[in-house]
Amino acid sequence: MSINIASIDSISEVNMDYTITMYFQQSWRDKRLAYGELNLNLTLDNRVADQLWLPDTYFLNDKKSFLHGVTVKNRMIRLHPDGTVLYGLRITTTAACMMDLRRYPLDEQNCTLEIESYGYTTDDIVFFWQGGDSAVTGVDKLELPQFSIVDIRLVSREVRFTTGSYPRLSLSFRIKRNIGYFILQTYMPSILITILSWVSFWINYDASAARVALGVTTVLTMTTINTHLRETLPKIPYVKAIDVYLMGCFVFVFLALLEYAFVNYVFFGRGPQQQKKINERLNKANNERPRYEEKRLREQDSISAPFQTNTFRSFTQRRNLYLEEQRKVGVDAYGNILLTTLEMNNEVMPSDVGSSVSDSRNSVMSFDSSGVQFRKPMAPRDGFSHHSLDRSAMRSRANCRLRRRSSKLKLKIPNLADVSTIDKWSRVIFPITFGFFNLIYWLYYVN
């Protein structure tokens, strides 16, 4: 037997079959038809075939076949002087081809055409490929839209059934799917839609309508691509390679939508609650400070009593002056620290103000670069300069502690104006993770 392949019309993954048009030729020797008077080959009318013995050949994996009949039946009968008969047919057949689509569309498939005798056993007839590996021709001229023929293999074997042993010939050709179509129609749109979902990371968190609409649109688009792909494939139980990729893209798109929901919850739901708790703790801490300062002033007054003169102010006057000073540096009448008047970056250390020595009468009020009020030294007066140095140093250390404590409390308050922290991390994490996913995917399935 020999076959000349005219075309492979279609290969269907849904029906698991392929359609091939070929010139199928069989030859055998019938001594009853030998003639010696004329050394010429005789080509007979196709109607003569009904009067001759023909082998009962059939295609084992055939689904649907037909013999072309335009303008007449495409049958050829050629008779040789030694009784050899060449019988040729032009046939189009749809044969089953069971495919493994786990690596689809990066897969290779092996399709076969099984030729067997239906009634004659090996005791009556023997099948073999005429010409060996050159028995099948026309493969080099084939052009398939989605596949490339990688290899062709011819096999002859004998199969056994309960009715006997039968000869079988197999034409096996290995085809590789071209991925160009799927890159343009599936992979590239999925990549672009995934990247489009990341645009929401650059949109202001206040634009809820824009970010939610973008997230929902990309999710629905990925769902549409998945649905369209499933319509072109059979309902198989295992996961295909393209399913893995599309599901990965869908997860990234869905996570981008959930990212905004998380941002919205953190900064509009949980954020104000944390702010309220921190403010309550801050107020509680600040309410205890006036009592501590009053106690400190009483102790200081009792220590400095022997050195005081008539020019010293009373305890009440010094207390009022101290409270007025605290209000100017950011403490209200209830002892609450006003953080708006303090700057963390310009905090004055004790060493910077330790040299400021004077009592409340011998100082004037001035401001440093941080906006915190402190006392500027003046010339000491006779009689109480030594005690004034000690008292001024204590007051300077107290002011420094106040500023440091205020700065620490300010650090604990969440800055609700900077709500892009999660978005900034998402701008980096999402692309890196998606690139790593693509690297693993293509290395695994291409190799």
Q: What pLDDT score was predicted for residue 325? A: 58
The residue whose two tokens read 């010094």 is: 318
- Decide: helix, strand or coil at residue 204: coil
Asked whether the predicted pLDDT for residue 395 surpasses 80, the reply is: no
Q: Are 173 and 153 in contact (CB under 8 A)?
A: yes
Q: In the prediction, which pLDDT does 63 show?
A: 93
Q: Mean pLDDT over all residues of the chain?
A: 78
pLDDT band at 353 (very low <50, low <70, confident <90, very high): very low
Nearest partner of 154 among 141, 138, 135, judged by Cα: 135
Highest average pLDDT, of 161-175, 342-356, 380-394, comes from: 161-175
Lowest mean pLDDT among 200-204, 262-266, 325-329, 350-354: 350-354
Q: Is the pLDDT of residue 315 over 70?
A: no
Burial of 21 (0-12, 13-18, 19+ CB in 10 A): middle
Model pLDDT, residue 170: 95
pLDDT range class, residue 239, cuts 50, 70, 90: very high
**pLDDT band (50, 70, 90) for residue 370:** very low
Residues 222 and 246 sit within 8 Å (Cβ to Cβ):
yes
Lowest-pLDDT range of 63-67, 189-193, 199-203, 378-382: 378-382
For residues 132-158, average pLDDT: 91
pLDDT at 438 (0 to 100) = 96
pLDDT at 363 over 80: no
How does residue 361 score in pLDDT terms, banded at 50, 70 and 90?
very low
Note the pLDDT tens digit of each residue in 276-289.
Answer: 667 777 777 677 66
Per DSSP, helices labelled H in 304-384 are 315-328, 350-353
pLDDT for res 19: 95
What pLDDT does residue 131 have? 87
CA nearest to 312, candidates 357, 359, 356: 359
* Residue 198 CA neighbour count, 13 Å, CB half: 18
Which residue in 119, 120, 29 sits closest to 78, CA to CA? 29
pLDDT in tens, 29-80: 999 989 887 888 988 888 888 889 999 999 999 999 999 998 889 999 999 9
Which tens digit of pLDDT belongs to each residue from 243-273?
Answer: 999 999 999 999 999 988 888 877 666 556 6
**Banded model confidence at residue 410, pLDDT cuts 50, 70, 90:** very low
For residue 21, what pLDDT is reported?
95
DSSP secondary structure letters along 269-290: IIHHHHHHHHHHHHHHHHHTHH
Do residues 11 and 94 lie in contact, with contact meaning Cβ atoms separated by under 8 Å? no
Neighbours of 72 (CB within 10 A): 10
Q: Inform me whether the pLDDT recorded for 310 exceeds 60.
A: no
CB 61 within 8 A of CB 94: no
CA distances to 58, 83, 167, 171 from 117, rounded to whole Å, are 6, 22, 6, 15
Give the residue-averaged pLDDT of 399-412. 55
